[in-house]
Each structure stands twice: as structure tokens, then as C-alpha cells.
Amino acid sequence: MHATVTFRSRMPLSGIDGKGHETLFDTSPEFSGTGSAASPMDTVLEALGACSMMDILSILKKMKREPVLLETRLDAERADDHPKVFTSIHVIYCLESPGCRQEELDKAVRLSMEKYCSVAAMLKAGGCSISWSTQLV
């Protein structure tokens, strides 16, 4: 994998991955940003949601379920002192999928969070506790 992040005289920063996809990063005006894009820590939190969702969608498809909507709501706590790492994250997975049972959703989430999700594994290795709950819509 490869990425480049560039600063051109003012925020936001522009990140380009090896495939040419752009991600903008910013911070609040309090820290010389413009507030026009997500912060790097915001994107880490979003990456946890996206990474686990991709696993869950794949697992549900293998269970012959057709997700109509899958949403994650993530709430994180950070350390008070620098580096202000995530110390805990709670994720709520909300799924709309006709015929899907609660046990199937729970199994898909558990497999993602305990076995497949690389972002969750990295956060846990850094000492962050991750909890989750599910809702069928």
C-alpha cells in the first residue's frame, strides 16, 4: 500500500492513496484548520465502521441475506493526555434486511469484530476496548 498526504499553504490536507482516491483532512479553526473536512481521528473512527461493515455485508450475503440498509453509529472516548488515542469505542449496527434474524446479524458482527476487521484488530492492539450492539430495523 502507498499513500501521499500534501499541504498546500492552507487546510485541508489532501491525501491520495495508491489508486488515486482523494481524502481530505482538516481540523477546527482553534488548531489552524478550517473545519471543512474530517480530522484524521474522525477518519480512523469512520474506518472502523466501514471496515467492519464490509465484512458484515459479505458474511450476510453468504448467509443468503439481502441487506437493504446497514448503518453504524460509533461513539469513542479518547485519552486526556497526548497522544490522545482512542481508549474505548462502542459501535451500534442497525440493519434492515428482510428475513434476517437477530442471531444471524449478531454472528456476522461477532465474526467481523473478533476475526476479520483489520481496523478493529489494530485499535485493540493499541489498547482500545471495542464493544458493540445490534438492531434489526
Which residues touch 15 (CB under 8 Å, ≥6 apart)?
Answer: 3, 4, 5, 6, 22, 23, 24, 25
Reading the chain (137 residues) residue by residue, the pLDDT tens digits are 999 999 999 999 999 999 999 999 999 999 999 999 999 999 999 999 999 999 999 999 999 999 999 999 999 999 999 999 999 999 999 999 999 999 999 999 999 999 999 999 999 999 999 999 999 99
Quick one: pLDDT at residue 122?
A: 98
SS3 133: strand
> How far is Cα of residue 70 from the mean position of the Cα atoms in its chain?
13
The Cα–Cα gap between 24 and 7 comes to 10
Quick one: pLDDT at residue 127?
A: 98
C-alpha cell at 110: 461477532
> How far is Cα of residue 120 from the mean position of the Cα atoms in its chain?
8
Verify cis geometry, omega within 30 degrees of 0, for the bond prior to 40.
no
Quick one: pLDDT at residue 3?
A: 97
| Inter-helix orientation angle 40-62/102-111, to 10° | 130
Name which of 93, 10, 112 is nearest 51 in CA terms.
112
Quick one: pLDDT at residue 70?
A: 98
| DSSP per residue, 74-123 | EEEEE-SSSS--EEEEEEEEEEE-TT--HHHHHHHHHHIIIII-HHHHHH
Is the distance from CB of 34 to CB of 12 less than 8 angstroms? yes
Q: Which fold has domain 40-136?
A: GMP Synthetase; Chain A, domain 3 (3.30.300)
Quick one: pLDDT at residue 98?
A: 95
